[in-house]
Structure 1
Amino acid sequence: MSTRDPALPDLTGTATLVTGASGNIGGGIAWRFAEAGSAVVVHYHRGAAPAEALVARIEAEGGTATAIRADLSDAAACHDLVHAAAAWAGRLDTLVNNAGVQPVEDLADMTADRWRAVLETNVDSAFSCTQAAAEVMADGGGVIHVASIEATQPAPGHAHYSSAKAALVMHARAAALEYGPRGVRVNTVSPGLIDRSGLATDWPDGVARWHRAAPLTRLGTPADVGNACVFLASPLARWITGHNLVVDGGVSARPTW
């Protein structure tokens, strides 16, 4: 990009696919990869307008991007998305598995179908997209799952979500073990509470509690998550795989007793 951020590792000449990039965190991740110089595939399912707006914003700054729609509940669609991304860019260096859902529901009232839906949306798509990416990363590459600190610190109403994020952390470790000989690194980024427009109004108590609990005294931003992903995708992390990078302003360091 004409305004490439010099604070970021230089990813010029690379290509990155970010799933769920029409949302708050996914859009922030895609934008940081563009600022690092990577060509970016902005995946979306239903959010066509924000995905196209992000592509237009990247292109307006001199970057390279495209938006591709896919329903990642279908394994074949996951493979098609990855291969379409690689075909568009002529290569695929990084896959960021960010797509997911975060419903709130008491465990006692949860049906098996709703349990499975969250596991499938958050975990199955990462499994299928990673499998497809390893096929096209002939010269090696990086896969990054976006999990959550709830993988190890569950919140009430998030039993399905926390379980899914824990599965992502373990899948990354298992994939790192098996795909490492191919030169494919697989890591996880686990964010804490990430700010969005209207969050302080929608959840004032939660935001206030986070501010009190976080040693760095603020919420995270989508750029904070993007920075961690860019680092793990860069040559600076060339000997890092199977790792879970927590990005939470230090909340996980606070004693729970």
Structure 2
Amino acid sequence: MLDLSGTTTLVTGASGGIGRGIAPRFAEAGSAVAVHYHRDEASALAVVERIQKAGGTAETFAADLTDDGECHRLVAAAAAWTGQLDTLVNNAGVQPVEPLPGMSAESWRAVLDANLTSAFSCTQAAAEVMNGGSIVHIASIEAAQPAPGHAHYSSAKAALVMHARAAALEYGSRGIRVNAVSPGLIDRPGLGDAWPDGVRRWHQAAPLARLGTPDDVANACLFLASPLAAWVTGHNLTVDGGVSARPTW
């Protein structure tokens, strides 16, 4: 049921972080993976090399997803690569820290364009070339619980969750399922050194007492793209080690 052989998956922002975990996981399931990147070609090539060494199929695709035309070009190129597109994972985004007082409209728009509008454009483009299939947005638990300095990011992710529901409603008649995955704090190299207090507090708050990994998010995406989730659409799957279950009072 998790065999995606004969399918093609486009993962945006696949050159780093969570995307670097999602792309190989889909390749392990048998899907040919279009590895999108914006600037970091070397990291994208490293992901492709990892997939190919494991016997999978992958190719890099560059695009600036803050440009609607680039989004449509990317989707068209990914679909033309194998002749089809079955899954889109809208993972690309940015997460700057900036206090709301004094935040410029330019900063606000830049974060919404990178996290929200890019997913809107890629989804719209993908739906025109997909014959059924699955679209997964990478949102965040901050969609429901904001953090200081993340007003723009939290707002974008909240809107992304709603976009998944709206797209599920409007694209369901085409056999396209649209869902979101909302990760909690995902580990990355150097995070413990850069933010020791935050990591400590997370370990104390999360019932499973650990940080998430890119593989945790990748597995959730694979489930939603697989036949196991054939009747799941318009859903937001929280992947946070249970931290959202913790009382806030």
Partner of 1:23: 16
Asked if 1:207 is matched to 2:202, the reply is no
Correspondence for 1:47: 40
Aligned counterparts, 1:79-158, within 5 A: 79-138=72-131, 140-158=132-150
Give the unaligned 5+ runs of structure 2: none
State the distance in 1 between where 2:199 and 2:8 align. Answer: 35
More off after superposition, 218-227 vs 83-92: 83-92
SS at match of 2:148: coil
Residue in structure 1 matched with residue 186 of structure 2 by the alignment = 194
Please give the alpha-carbon distance, in whole angstroms, between the structure 1 residues aligned to 2:205 and 2:231. 33
The Cα of 1:31 is off from its aligned counterpart by 1.1
Deviations 1:144-184 (A, max 9, x none): 00000000000000000000000000000000000000000
User: Could you list the runs of 4 or more consecutive aligned residues of structure 1 that deviate by over 3 angstroms after TM superposition?
Assistant: none
- Percent of pairs with identical residues: 76
Long gaps (5+) in structure 1 = 1-7
Distance 2:33 2:207 in 1: 33
1:250 match = 242
Q: Secondary structure at the match of 1:106?
A: coil
Residue 218 (structure 1) aligns with: 210
3-state SS, counterpart of residue 143 of structure 1:
strand
Report the equivalent of 1:70: 63
Deviation at 1:12, TM superposition (A): 1.0
Aligned-partner Cα distance in 2 for 1:171–1:111: 25
Residue 161 (str. 1) matches residue 156 (str. 2) = no
SS at match of 1:215: coil
Q: Does 1:231 align with 2:227?
A: no
Q: How many residues align?
A: 249
User: Which one is further off, 8-17 or 94-103?
Assistant: 8-17
Tell me the TM-score normalized by structure 1. Answer: 0.96
CA distance in 1 between counterparts of 2:119 and 2:65 reads 9
CA distance, structure 2, for counterparts of residue 133 and residue 242 of structure 1:
17
Q: Is the partner of 2:177 in helix, strand or coil? A: strand
**TM-score with structure 2 length normalisation?**
0.99
- CA-based RMSD: 0.7
- Aligned partners of 1:22, 1:67: CA distance in 2, in Å? 9
**2:154 is the alignment partner of 1:172:** no
Write the letter of the residue equivalent to 2:101.
Answer: A
- Partners of 1:61 and 1:53 lie apart in 2 by 12
Distance across 1 between alignment mates of 2:74 and 2:138: 18
Deviation at 1:9, TM superposition (A): 1.0
Amino acid aligned to 2:124: Q
1:247 is displaced (CA, Å) by 0.2
